[in-house]
Structure 1
């Protein structure tokens, strides 16, 4: 028996649905996400079961559904689903406070004006964000998308609607190092992913519990203790997985490129200088990074 969870979420007239669709529509082969002009369908694992998440964007409203292959109701499914939907759409982010504070900034103000209402789209789970961050270390987005696709296909979890599901730790735990290497992971990344999976399975990395209230320094220390995970991976994970807006993305090549353009400099900006520049905008440093990312997309 399938189970259906659903909710209706009010949106402002200026809500940027296109940002959500673009983030989840990066894979042109669409093996796990299917995008139309106003709809997102995403294969995911919900409490051990294959599921399909659907988001239907309407004027000033989003209709969100989760069709689960099998019963997965343990009493709090509806509340957990509602929280996931709000988080994925960026609705837990205090962008109004940020925009009011910096709309008159001599440099950032222009970006805010051009990109008003920008929110950071989130992954369905923190584990998905962390897996993506490890996958994307020091390679292009296109290469990371390809490796992610092969990982999803290797896990081979398919919803009855046809989409493959982004695997959780328990599914990746069943994959050998050789399989991860064949998917495109370097040896070091495969080992990092294996360590991560083991720690999640042993409850030493309570990612889902951290969603309720992110203990930033505790989480940072736990993640950076894993070989192969550094500050960029942690800050990116906290942004995309939890919606934490104060992680400094000075280590991100695209952020530094956009900052160089914003400042009108001819020389590349190094990590140290980017970090110093971003410090002014705490506790919104990651949101500034997202605005810088978005400014580059307009040039593509």
Structure 2
């Protein structure tokens, strides 16, 4: 038995369709995310049930349809509408940010090219933290490849043919050797497994209603989770725009370009520079990422 539900929402006039599509094009094999024109199809497990999300973008509206391979009790109209708003980043107050910094000597230059930039979100914060841990200290391309192998090894297929990323229940019980065969270091494998186990044991709250600052403190207490991982998780999983991504190599490299500096700023120098833009530090970092938007960070 399949279950189908759909919702539609309006888009702001400055919504950047290309940013959202690029975020879901990171894996060229399209194992678990497939982009066809303005339609994105993504596999997701809900209560262990394989589901296919189909998100279509029009000029001024977006529609999200979910097709579950069986009845999923958490499926309802309001929940799906909230998921759509979350994924599109429509809760992010970018208008206030742009109004505040439209005359700033550096930020105004970024806004000239990337006005309306908001942060596309993962379907769940757990997806965000698994991606963040996977991507620690390696290139986007390498992280995509390792993530793909993990999905192939532990994910589940939807009847449409798209694969669903593994959920916390699956990864909590995945052997370390399986992670290692996918390309994870022992440290990263242990960290992902531990986060998944904590979620399953109700020792960690990664629900969208959780306080990001509380989540940050709890995540930092986990071995293998550092400030960059926390800030990236909060940015991509919760839409929290005030994390400091000063340790990100691309942020530092592009800040050097923005400031026309002869040397790449240190992590400390980048942190000090970003601190001036709180509570939008992570959004500023995303604008720096956008200098190389084809990377799909």
In the alignment, the residues of structure 1 paired with residue 49 and residue 81 of structure 2 have an alpha-carbon distance, to the nearest angstrom, of: 18
2:138 aligns to what? 139
In the alignment, the residues of structure 2 paired with residue 25 and residue 217 of structure 1 have an alpha-carbon distance, to the nearest angstrom, of: 30
Superposition map of 1:149-164 within 5 A: 149-164=148-163
1:8 aligns to what? 8
* Bigger mean CA deviation after superposition, 214-223 or 191-200: 214-223
Superposition map of 1:42-191 within 5 A: 42-74=42-74, 77-191=76-190
- Residue 280 of structure 1, aligned match among 261, 276, 282: 276
In the alignment, the residues of structure 2 paired with residue 253 and residue 228 of structure 1 have an alpha-carbon distance, to the nearest angstrom, of: 19
- The answer for unaligned runs of 5 or more in structure 1 is none
- The answer for unaligned runs of 5 or more in structure 2 is none
Distance 1:40 1:199, change over 3 A: same
2:263 aligns to what? 267
Measured against aligned partners, the alpha-carbon deviations of 1:128-170 in whole angstroms (never above 9, x if no partner) come to 0000000000000000000000011111301110011011101
Measured against aligned partners, the alpha-carbon deviations of 1:279-299 in whole angstroms (never above 9, x if no partner) come to 111000000010000012379
Cα pair 2:124 2:237 within 8 Å, conserved: yes
In the alignment, the residues of structure 2 paired with residue 277 and residue 160 of structure 1 have an alpha-carbon distance, to the nearest angstrom, of: 49
Give structure 1 regions of 4+ aligned residues with deviation exceeding 6 angstroms: none
Using the TM superposition, give the Cα deviation of residue 220 of structure 1 relative to its aligned residue in structure 2, in angstroms: 1.3
- Residue 236 of structure 2, aligned match among 237, 240, 255: 240
In the alignment, the residues of structure 2 paired with residue 217 and residue 123 of structure 1 have an alpha-carbon distance, to the nearest angstrom, of: 19
In the alignment, the residues of structure 1 paired with residue 42 and residue 121 of structure 2 have an alpha-carbon distance, to the nearest angstrom, of: 13
1:28 aligns to what? 28
Superposition map of 1:164-243 within 5 A: 164-208=163-207, 211-212=208-209, 214-243=210-239
In the alignment, the residues of structure 2 paired with residue 29 and residue 216 of structure 1 have an alpha-carbon distance, to the nearest angstrom, of: 33
In the alignment, the residues of structure 2 paired with residue 161 and residue 59 of structure 1 have an alpha-carbon distance, to the nearest angstrom, of: 27
Cα pair 2:140 2:295 within 8 Å, conserved: no
In the alignment, the residues of structure 2 paired with residue 161 and residue 254 of structure 1 have an alpha-carbon distance, to the nearest angstrom, of: 36
TM-score, normalised on structure 1?
0.96
Cα pair 2:155 2:165 within 8 Å, conserved: no
TM-score, normalised on structure 2?
0.97
Q: Quote the RMSD (CA, aligned, Å).
A: 1.4
